[in-house]
Amino acid sequence: KAGVTQTPRYLIKTRGQQVTLSCSPISGHRSVSWYQQTPGQGLQFLFEYFSETQRNKGNFPGRFSGRQFSNSRSEMNVSTLELGDSALYLCASSSRAGSSGNTIYFGEGSWLTVV
């Protein structure tokens, strides 16, 4: 079956703009998490959604938001973009919430460059 699909793969935005990234989880998976990856900070957790509800949120400013739809697809939005938001944004899906005996699969990521 298809893996985690993220769109777009690459995008360039200007400071002050906003961006929306999309993630389609593996079929049947109801949990979607988002991570930001940068060379300096590594992989940092943004938020997790399960059955359209945000379960957990990382330590990011309110400019970062997300949502999950009834079909488990998820979007994340970053408003008022800053240069430091340039990163690889990774989406992960799993069949259940949490990590207890739960395998978590990642997508290819969306590369965001802010200029």
Residue 71 burial (10 A CB sphere; 0-12, 13-18, 19+):
exposed
What is the three-class DSSP state of 95? coil
Site for another protein in 55-74 (CB under 8 A): 55-59
Show the site string, 76-115: x = touches another protein by CB under 8 A, - = not.
Answer: --------------x-x-x--xxxxxxxxxxxxx-x----
Percent helix, strand, coil in the chain (nearest 5)? 5, 50, 45
Smallest gap from residue 90 Cβ to another protein (A): 6
Give the closest residue to 79 by CA, choosing from 13, 34, 11.
Answer: 13
Smallest gap from residue 107 Cβ to another protein (A): 5
> Which residues contact another protein by CB under 8 A?
4, 6, 31, 33, 35, 42-43, 45-48, 55-59, 90, 92, 94, 97-109, 111
